[in-house]
Amino acid sequence: MTPITLTVNGKKHTVEVSPDTPLLWVLRDTLGLTGTKYGCGVAQCGSCTVLLNGDAIRSCVTTIADCQEKSVTTIEGLSADSTHALQKAWIEDDVPQCGYCQSGQIMAAAALLATHPRPTDQQIDDAMQGILCRCGTYPRIRRAIHRAAAQKGGKS
Amino acid sequence: MNTPTNLTRRDFIKVSSVAGAGLVLSFYLPSKGEPLGAAAAAPAFAPNAWLTIDTNGIVTITVARSEMGQGVLTSMPMIVAEELEADWKNVRVIQAISHPTKYGSMSTGGSFSVRGSWQNLRNAGAAARELLIAAAAQTWGTETSACRAENGTIIHTSGKKLSYGELASKAATMRVPTSLKLKDPKDFKILGKRLRKLDTPSKVNGSAKFGSDIRVPGMLFASVERCPVFGGKVTSFDAAKAKALQGVRDVVQIDSGIAVVATSTWAAFQGRKALTVQWNEGQFAGQNSAAIWKSFEEAAKSKGSIEDYAGSAENALTSAAKKVEAIYYAPLIAHATMEPMNCVADVRSDRCEIWVPTQSPQQVAGEAARILGFPLDKVRVNTTLLGGGFGRRLQTDYSSDAVRVSKAIGAPVSVVWTREDDMQHDWYRPCTYNVLTGGIGKDGWPVAWLHRVVGPGSRGLVVGGSTPPYALPNFQIDSHIKDIGVPIGAWRSVGPSQNGFVVESFIDELAYAAKKDPFEYRRHLLAGSARLRRALEVAAEKAGWGKPLPAGVGRGIAAVESFGSAVAEVFEVSVEKSGKVKIHRIVAAVDCGPVVNPDTLEAQVEGGIVYSLSAVLKDEITIARGRVEQNNFDDYRILTIDEMPKVETHIIPSTESVGGIGEPGLPPVAPALCNAIFAATGKRIRRLPIRPADLQ
C-alpha cells in the first residue's frame, strides 16, 4: 500500500489506505473530520461536498489516489472561527434545520462565490441544485448566499 | 393569561440547591397523550426536567425531546426563559440522557414537544422567578412587591439590583410560592420573537455531532447485509473473501443479517460486497405492487370496520340528487432522512452505552435491555442530533443492530446503514386505496359522504385524519387493514398526510359537482369549525382568491386541522404541454395558537411543504419480488433548490390553545396542488405521485 500525501485544511497528512478509498471516508474515519457527511455514496446528494484545489467535488466518489499532493478544504477548515462570510450569513439567516446537509451546502456555496462573487439566482440554482436538503432550507440558503456575497462586497 | 396558576402541587415543583451551584428547579412535564394541565393532578413529585441557575447566572435547561431540525432545543428554553425573565444570552440547553421514568415519555413525535410542555415550562420559569424575587426581598429586608425581575436581574423600586447569579444559592432556600402569576402575553420579550436557534453555530462549522459522527475509544465500524425481502432470513453465508479484505476485522451473524466489522466504514461496505449469503426469502418473496393494489381493490368490495360516522350515509345516498364517486390512491413512501440510519453501541459484560440519533430513546433502551438481558438501569442512551427524523427514527431496528454487533464482538461499534439500506428497509407511509362516494342535494350541499379505506399498518396510520372537518349530516368511514409484508410506520404528519389528500380533494369534487366555488363551499361547511374556517379565509384572502389569473393558471385550496393547528394553503399552478407541473405561488395560513418563534414556524411550514412536495411530485416506493425497487436519490428523487417554489406563510394571531408546527403544514399540500391542477386543466389527480403522463 503506497502512502498518499495530501493537504487537508492547510495541514499535510500522509495516509496509508487502499488507493480506491473515497476521500470522504479518509476524512471521517482516518482523519476524524466528521463535519463532511455521508448521504448517498454515489454523488447524488452533495452532503459530502468539499473543495479539492478550490473546486467543489463529491468526496464520496473521489478516490484518495486522486487527492495525491492536492489540497482539500472541509467545513472545519473554511475558517478558523466560523467567520467566513458564508458562515456568518448562515447564522444570520438561521439556515440549518437538522443541519446534516449544511456542510455540503456551505462548501458548494464557497466554491460558487470564489468564481461568482455576486451570483445571480440562476447561478445559485446551477451551483446548488446537486446538494439536497430534506428539511427544505432552500429559500434560506439562497438568501444567505446573497447576503454573504453582499457582505464580501463582491462584484458581479 | 394573567390568572394565577394554582400551585398547591408544591410536590411537583421542587427546589433544591447543589452545594455552591445555585438553584436547581425540578418540574413536571406531561407525557405525550396526557391532557394539558394533567400535571396538577400528578399524584406525586415526578421530576422530569430541570432548570438550573448557577452562581454566574447561567440558566441551563435540560430538554428530553430530540432535536431533528424542528428547533426544540431552542423553543423549549424560550418558554422557560420568558417567564423567568432570563437574559437570553445566558441561557444554555442540554440534551437529557434517557431515563425510564424521570422525564415521562421522551418520544418526539406528533408535533407534541411544545404543546405538551407549554404550560408547565411557563410554570417552571415563573416559579424560579418568584424564588429569585423572594431571595432578593429577603436580602434587602423588603417586601417582594417592591421587587421585579428583568433580564436576569431583580430590581428594587429604589433602583438597586442583584443578578440571578448572585441570588441563585439563596433562592434555593426559599419556599416555592403556592400560586404563580404567569406573564401577560403582551409583555412577552422572548416568546414570539425571531430568535436564532441555539445549535445553529455548531451546524455551520462541522462541530455538530450527529449519530454517525460519534467516535469512542476502540470503536470499530460495521455494516449489515440484510435480506432484500422483508422478513427473510439467512440460511448460510460465506465470509472468507470478506475477511481477507484489508481493514475487515470480523464477520458476525445477527438477527437482521450478516454484519461486517472493520476499521473504517468504507472497509465494512467493501466487505459486504465480498460476502456470499443464501437467504430464505420467506412468505413475501413473491410480493409486488400490482398484487398489493389488486388485493386492496378486492378488500374494498366488502364493508370494513366502521371507524367514524354520523347519521346514516348509506340511506342518505339513495335520496341524493347527484352522486359522485372516486377512487384515490396514496403510495408507499420512504422517509429518506439525509443522515442514513446509524447507531453507536458499547456493550460491556454488565452494562451498555448507546449513542443514537433517535426520536425514542426509551424504546432504544428497552430494546437493548431486552436483547442483552440487562436491567433497564444498566442501559444508557445518549440522544445525539438527528440528521432528520420525520417519524423514521421512532423505530429501533437500527439501534438494535449496533447493540447486537457490539455484543457479538465485545467492542464498541458504529453501525452505519448505506443509503440503499435506508431506502429499502424503511418503515414506509402506508399505501392506501380509498373509495369515496358522495351525495349532494338539489341545493348542492352534501347529504352523504362515504369513505372506505384499505391499507397496511396500524389503524391510526391508515385512518388518522379521515374524518372530514365539514358539517356533514351523514358520513361514514370504514376500513380494512391488510398486512402486505412491508414495514409500515409514521411519516411526517402521519394519517393526515394521505387522508388530507383524499378528504380535501373529494370535497373539491363535490364543490365542482355542485357548481359552487370550492373556497365558498368549504367556508359554508366549516361554520361550526371557527379555527379552520379562519385559516381558510386568511389563505384565500392573502392569495387573492377569485382574482383573475393568466390563462392556463389555476388556483386550488385545501384546509386541514392536525396536531392541534389549523393550516390552509392556496396553490397557483400551470401545467406544461409535457405534463410538467409548474408551481407559481404557495400561500399558507397557520393558526397554531401562541407562537413561540415565528422564524422557526416559517421554517417548519416551508420545510413541511417541500417535504410533502417531493412526495407528491416525485416519490413512490414500489415492490417487486418482495423487494423495494428504489435504491438511492437517483431513483427516489427529492426536490432541489431550483425547483423550490415561493412560499408565503401567514401567521394568524390567535388565542387558541397551543398547537404543533412540525407537521400541520404538510397535509394541505397534495390536495391544494391537485385542486389547482384541476382548476388549471380540468384534470383530477386521484393517484399520487402526480405523473406527467396523467397531465399530457
Q: Is the pLDDT of residue A55 over 50?
A: yes
Q: Would you say residue B508 lies in a domain? A: yes
B66: closest CA of chain A, how far (Å)? 11
Give the nearest partner residue to B641 out of A21, A135, A138, using CB atoms. A138
The interface residues of chain B toward chain A in range 256-295, judged by CB-CB distance below 8 A, are: 263-266, 269
- Residue of chain A with shortest Cα separation from B74: A97
Closest by alpha carbon to B244, among B209, B270, B215? B270
The residue ranking higher by pLDDT, B9 or A129, is A129
Give yes or no: residues B128 and B223 share one domain: no
Give yes or no: residues B240 and B314 share one domain: no
What is the model's pLDDT at position A2? 83
Q: Is the pLDDT of residue B45 over 50?
A: no
Look at B25-34, B134-143, B526-535 and tell me which has the smallest mean pLDDT: B25-34
Give yes or no: residues B503 and B482 share one domain: yes
Q: Would you say residue B421 lies in a domain? A: no
Q: Would you say residue B546 lies in a domain? A: yes
Q: Is the pLDDT of residue B10 over 70?
A: no
Instruction: Using an 8 Å CB-CB cutoff, list chain A residues near B197.
Output: 94, 96
Q: Name residues whose C-beta falls within 8 Å of residue B234's C-beta, 6 or more positions apart in sequence.
A: B227, B253, B257, B258, B277, B278, B279, B280
Rounded Cα gap, residues A34 and B387, in angstroms: 13
The CATH number of domain A85-151, selected from 1.10.150.120, 1.10.540.10, 3.90.550.10, 2.60.200.30: 1.10.150.120
What is the model's pLDDT at position B14? 61
Q: Is the pLDDT of residue B3 over 50?
A: no
Q: Is the pLDDT of residue B44 over 70?
A: no
Q: Name residues whose C-beta falls within 8 Å of residue B428's C-beta, 6 or more positions apart in sequence.
A: B332, B333, B334, B486, B487, B488, B489, B491, B621
Quick check: B44 contacting A, CB < 8 Å?
no
Give yes or no: residues B558 and B691 share one domain: yes
Give yes or no: residues B118 and B144 share one domain: yes
What is the model's pLDDT at position B121? 87
Q: Torsion over CA of A17, A23, A27 and A30, rounded to 10 degrees?
A: -10
- Structural domain boundaries in chain A: 4-77, 85-151
Q: Is the pLDDT of residue A40 over 50?
A: yes
pLDDT (mean) for B479-494? 97
CATH number of the CATH domain containing B154: 3.30.365.10
Q: Is the pLDDT of residue B217 over 70?
A: yes
Q: How many independent structural domains does chain B possess?
A: 3
Give yes or no: residues B487 and B591 share one domain: yes
Domain boundary (B162, B181, B203) is at: B203
pLDDT (mean) for B689-696? 96
Give yes or no: residues B278 and B411 share one domain: yes
Give yes or no: residues B276 and B304 share one domain: no
CB contact under 8 A, A141 and B641: yes
What is the model's pLDDT at position B12? 47
Give yes or no: residues B130 and B259 share one domain: no
Give yes or no: residues B115 and B194 share one domain: yes
Give yes or no: residues B479 and B547 share one domain: yes
Which of A94-108, B9-23, B161-175 holds the top average pLDDT?
A: A94-108
CA B535 to centroid of chain Cα atoms: 21
Query: What are the beta bridge partners of residue B25?
Result: B15, B51
pLDDT (mean) for B420-433? 98
- Residue of chain B with shortest Cα separation from A79: B205
Give yes or no: residues B472 and B539 share one domain: yes
Q: Is the pLDDT of residue B35 over 60?
A: no
What is the model's pLDDT at position B615? 97
Rounded Cα gap, residues B397 and B546, in angstroms: 50
Confidence of residue B174 (pLDDT cuts 50, 70, 90): confident
Rounded Cα gap, residues B401 and B412, in angstroms: 12
The residue ranking higher by pLDDT, B17 or B696, is B696
Q: Is the pLDDT of residue B493 over 60?
A: yes
Q: Is the pLDDT of residue B690 over 70?
A: yes
Mean pLDDT of chain B: 93
State the best of A15, A38, A47, A84 to mutate against chain B, taking most chain B CBs within 10 Å. A38
Quick check: B645 contacting A, CB < 8 Å?
no
Confidence of residue B179 (pLDDT cuts 50, 70, 90): confident
Q: Would you say residue B423 lies in a domain? A: no
Residue B235's Cβ-count burial label (10 Å; 0-12, 13-18, 19+) is exposed
What is the model's pLDDT at position B355? 98
pLDDT (mean) for A106-118? 97
Q: Is the pLDDT of residue B34 over 70?
A: no
What is the model's pLDDT at position B32? 45
What is the model's pLDDT at position B2? 39
A4-77: in CATH 3.30.499.10: no
Chain segment B570-593, per-residue pLDDT in tens = 999 999 999 999 999 999 999 999
Residue A43's SS3 state is: coil
Rounded Cα gap, residues A115 and B363, in angstroms: 49
What's the helix, strand, coil split of chain B in %, to 5?
A: 30, 25, 40
Question: Domain limits at B226?
Answer: 211-282+341-416
pLDDT (mean) for B398-418? 98
Q: Name residues whose C-beta falls within 8 Å of residue B70's C-beta, 6 or more positions apart in sequence.
A: A97, B113, B600, B604, B661, B662
Q: Is the pLDDT of residue B46 over 60?
A: no
What beta strand segments (E) does B31-80 contain?
49-53, 59-63
Chain segment B71-112, per-residue pLDDT in tens = 999 999 999 999 999 999 999 999 999 988 877 788 999 888
Confidence of residue B33 (pLDDT cuts 50, 70, 90): very low
